[in-house]
Amino acid sequence: MAARSSGLSGAAARGGGEILGLRRRFLAGEGLADGVVAAPIRRSWERCAALGLDMARLPAIEPLSGGALRESRERNERLRRAARAELLALHHDARASGGIVILTDAEGLVLDTAGSPDFAEKAARVALRPGVAWREAATGTNAIGTAIAERREISVVGAEHFFEMHRVLTCTAMPILDARGETVGVLDLSNPAAVRETHAAGLVRRAVEAIEHRLFDASAADWEVVRFHVDPEQIGSVREGLLAFAGDRLVGANRSGLALIERDWEAVGHLGWSDVFATTRRRSGDDGQLRTTAGRMLVGRAEAPRRSPMRGEAVPSILRSAEAEPTKVAPAASEPPAGSGPRAAAPDPIWDDTRRSALKRAVRLVDADVPVLIQGETGVGKEVFARALHDASRLASKPFVAINCAALPEGLIEAELFGYEEGAFTGARKAGSKGLMRAADGGVLFLDEIGDMPAGLQARLLRALQEREVTPLGAARPVPVAFSLICATHRGLADLVEARAFRQDLYFRIAPYTVELEPLRRHPDRGALVDEIWARIGGPAAKVTLGAELRRHLAAYDWPGNWRQLVGTLRTLLVLAEPGETLDTSVLPPDLRRGPALGDASFGPAPAAAGDLDAITVAAMRAALADCGGNVSRAATRLGVHRSTLYRRLTMRPVGSA
């Protein structure tokens, strides 16, 4: 890994003790022959030595307080949203290799981590955790800080780290650049030093491409965008070239775009259309050939500026003819909403007739200011649905403000929702905060996982919804608010109400209409679904084929993580595959090879033996309960029995058991 991604020579394979010895000789003033240590690592050692860092001492680390970390996350919310899908996709790879995936801001401050809980705990012992900045000046040579300093992808293996305590790590990191080439963050994949994860560089590189693609589209609303590539099949994918023009001036680009026109970041802000293309400038919406001033032939299209800079992604014209088809793709949960149709680069989830019909009904309710509750298992696309609902409603040009009630400590949810005044609590910002409910004024407030909201806060939320006003923490007077409310949960709220874990009056307030999103295992043709998603993420374009046995296994798998797990798995298979390869089941992680699989491409458990009526009944009950995400009331309603009957039958001990 290190030799390929950080430019190491044969020294990449040296043992940790040998590298450690080389570093000590270097710091003692002894010379090192060229090529013994990779140039980026050597330059980093030189910077660390110039700063007076002592490799044998503990680095001076000052973690942020909880409030300061929250403010940093707020400042970087656009980056975190753009990276969320890739963090989820890499989460499975990190867990499989016993490592973690890390997102930092432009200064190396760790914002989010995901992956192996065991390794995360070990990494925390060397301060590789949220709230700690991994700049070279503080933590010496490391993949995150050195990638920032070098503005390139870097791997740092074991003893190549400057501080001895970091020798337990093997890390690969790559800067995330915005449309102007400025570093806005870093994506890192870290593993135990004993692990040689040979695919880390490729995984990180592909993930950064996708993140930068989303960031570009989210920032390019006021610009004319040109999408192009040598291969027309790549237009609309994360590998397409992107250039943005304000009038005649080039004001934005992505890495692929600059590579295809054979320019660097110096071109942005300095060149005009005629400096880049010899082809006459085309009208927006036109597709055709583009010839660069260097003579390279490309295929591309121009797109006019979008009216609202907050509306997110534009839709390539090559896809617009498909908008009316029922099985096209909606934006991924982590991407800004498109508002104008599907996008090939984000196949999560597939919109079928049932989901589209539910969306149309829900739009009428949001337009009439009637709250909507979305229920479904983890990974079924609840936030995707909520964003599509906002985009299709009369409030599409107004704010969409989302908060995950399960992701914040109880003490922070109140401040997040209602805001606070200056000095309301220790760590409060000097200017205070207006809170998310006021930020959503005039638009849509989306409360995800509302079933996990603390009981004490439910009363305050109910009052705010009834009175249409909020009182920030530390304030003497309430502030009026007006927004449409969308809530989502994977839990059975009716059961929570019955168990007195959720307020009945709040339930009636937020759930006059409920949208049920079915789990993936109930899809009638998962084989066709796998084929469609594989095509949309670029499998055929990369000349990678799913073998028949692998395809049958993917179609039969239960997918407990639903769309999120399926798309993440297929993306991972594509990243790891070689061009022209036909994949078989050996490429699957062990947990996917073992199950839970259904045994065929249908859904539901295998029937009990003929004549065993009790077994058949219990099997049907268990299937209904599973399909309803564990919600006993919904399962009972589906079966046409009382919920107490369902409880009794599922908890009865089999005849003849001990």
Q: Which domains does the chain have, with CATH numbers?
A: 1-214 (3.30.450.40), 220-304 (no CATH), 353-516 (3.40.50.300), 520-594 (1.10.8.60), 613-651 (1.10.10)
pLDDT tens digit string along 70-115?
888 888 988 998 888 888 778 777 777 788 899 999 999 999 988 8
Bridge-based pairing of strands 224-229 and 241-246 is antiparallel
pLDDT tens digit string along 26-43?
766 666 656 667 889 888
Whether 3 shows a pLDDT value over 70: the answer reads no
Q: Which amino acid, one-letter code, is at 58? A: L
**Nearest one of 211, 217, 157, 155 to 185, comparing CA atoms:** 211
Average confidence score pLDDT of the chain: 78
Among residues of the chain, what percentage have pLDDT more than 90? 27
At 526, the pLDDT band (50, 70, 90 cuts) reads confident
pLDDT tens digit string along 428-450?
566 677 888 888 999 999 999 99
pTM check: above 0.85: no
**What would the DSSP string read from start to end of 97-146?**
HT-EEEEEETT-BEEEEEE-HHHHHHHHHTT-STT-B--HHHH-S-HHHH
Query: Under a CB-based contact definition with an 8 Å cutoff, are residues 481 and 470 in contact?
Result: yes
**Nearest one of 149, 153, 154 to 138, comparing CA atoms:** 149
Q: Which two tokens stand for residue 241?
A: 């070239």
Q: Treating both helix axes as pointing N-terminal to C-terminal, what angle do 39-50 and 143-150 enclose, rounded to 10 degrees?
A: 100
Q: What is the pLDDT of residue 328?
A: 28
Sort residue 641 into left (φ over 0), alpha (ψ -120 to 50) or beta: beta
Q: What is the pLDDT of residue 144?
A: 95
Distance of alpha carbon 49 from alpha carbon 108, whole angstroms: 20
For the chain, first and last CA: distance in Å?
56
**Nearest one of 604, 551, 525 to 352, comparing CA atoms:** 525
> What is the three-class DSSP state of 585?
helix
**What would the DSSP string read from start to end of 466-477?**
HHTEE--BT-SS
Query: Under a CB-based contact definition with an 8 Å cutoff, are residues 485 and 405 in contact?
Result: no
